[in-house]
Amino acid sequence: MNHLTRAGRVFNAFNAGFLLLLALLCLFPLVNVLAVSLSSSSAAGAGLVTLWPVDFTLQSYEFVLNKPEFLRALLISVERLLLGTAINMLLTITLAYPLSKEPAAFKGRTVYVWFFVVTILVGGGLIPWYLIIQKLGLLGSIWALVLPGAVNVFNAVLLLNFYRGLPRELEEAAFVDGAGHWRILWSIYVPLSMPAIATLILFSMVGHWNSWFDGLILMNSPSEYPLQSYLQTVVINRDLTLVTMSDAATLAAVSDRTLKGAQIFLAALPIICVYPFLQRFFIKGIVVGSVKE
């Protein structure tokens, strides 16, 4: 493998360079906004910031982290994430177990599988979904953010495929020793499926952290918004019809830009910390779990 031709070495260098450039280009927008958020408002307003903060200051972060609205939204997001992930995982673990059985060992398995899989293909759409949640009186409650998406059929399918990869003999031995299904699930299946479960936990957490639309339409007032929905209103929602090209510079209060940057970066930070682990996990967990014989 080492006797590369000259052309081969040139290609390798170009290829590595190109991919590095591409990867940096991917991160460039984020780094730029981070640099803006760490710059003084005048430098940001003058458009002097590219990759490195100009007149470094933490003022924007100080301001955001002392803003009661931001902190309240953050708290709601954390609450939602913990409650939502716990419910997600409990349901996924218990649903995947019976569905992983052969139809002979669990009568009705096929019917159940179809019952759940159909919901991947068809849905009622936005309005009936909203009306049901309204009818149940969940609007404005944290349960509205947690219950409608509590059953993730995709995750259950991934986990059930993982369960199926476990040696059947373990279960049979446990049966002989008098263990019931619940015992087998919690004492054998769950501990052995930890790589897959850990992956699903992280995915569920990322999903809850990133959700914004349900908060936006199911909460009654901005004071009940989780972080991403709150950011939707302060960072995204602006009416471009009111802004002409020449106004844009004067209208946008200069410090507003650094504040938005700080809020964007703070909301992205947990994901940036967590996702490299996800990457390691999903190669082990998901890919292995999704292999079918």
Partner 1 sequence: MFSAKARRQLPLHLMVLPSLVLVLIFSYGPIGGLVIAFQKFSIIKGILDSPFNGLDNFRYMLQLPEIGTVVRNTLVIACMKIVAGLAVPIVVSLLLNELRLQLFKRWIQTMIYLPHFLSWIILGGILIDILSPSQGIINQLLGAFGIEPVFFLGDARWFPAVVVVSDVWKEFGFSTIVYLAALAGINPALYEAAVIDGANRWKQTLHITLPGMIPVIVLLATLSLGNVLNAGFDQIFNLYSPVVYETGDIIDTLVYRIGLEQAQYSLATAVGLMKSIVSVILISVSYYLAYRLANYRIF
Asked if 10 interacts with partner 1 (CB under 8 A), we say: no
Asked whether 219 and 211 are in contact (CB, 8 A), the reply is no
Closer to partner 1 by Cβ: residue 141 or 232: 232
Asked if 112 interacts with partner 1 (CB under 8 A), we say: yes
Closer to partner 1 by Cβ: residue 71 or 287: 287
Nearest residue to 212 via CA among 191, 190, 227: 227
| Binder of partner 1 out of 89, 159, 197, 267 (CB under 8 A) | 267
Q: How far apart are the first and last CA of the chain?
A: 34
Nearest residue to 264 via CA among 41, 32, 78, 23: 32
| Binder of partner 1 out of 63, 72, 79, 148 (CB under 8 A) | 148
Asked if 187 interacts with partner 1 (CB under 8 A), we say: no
Give the whole-angstrom CA distance, residue 204 versus residue 116: 19
| Binder of partner 1 out of 83, 188, 198, 268 (CB under 8 A) | 268
Give the whole-angstrom CA distance, residue 158 versus residue 286: 7
| Binder of partner 1 out of 222, 252, 255, 288 (CB under 8 A) | 252
Q: 50, exposed or middle or buried, with CB in 10 Å at 0-12, 13-18, 19+?
A: exposed
Closer to partner 1 by Cβ: residue 61 or 97: 97
Asked if 173 interacts with partner 1 (CB under 8 A), we say: no
| Binder of partner 1 out of 75, 194, 243, 253 (CB under 8 A) | 243
CA distances from 218 to 76, 93, 140, 209, 224 (A): 14, 28, 6, 16, 10
Name which of residues 68 to 97 contact partner 1 (CB under 8 A): 91, 94-95, 97
Closer to partner 1 by Cβ: residue 65 or 243: 243
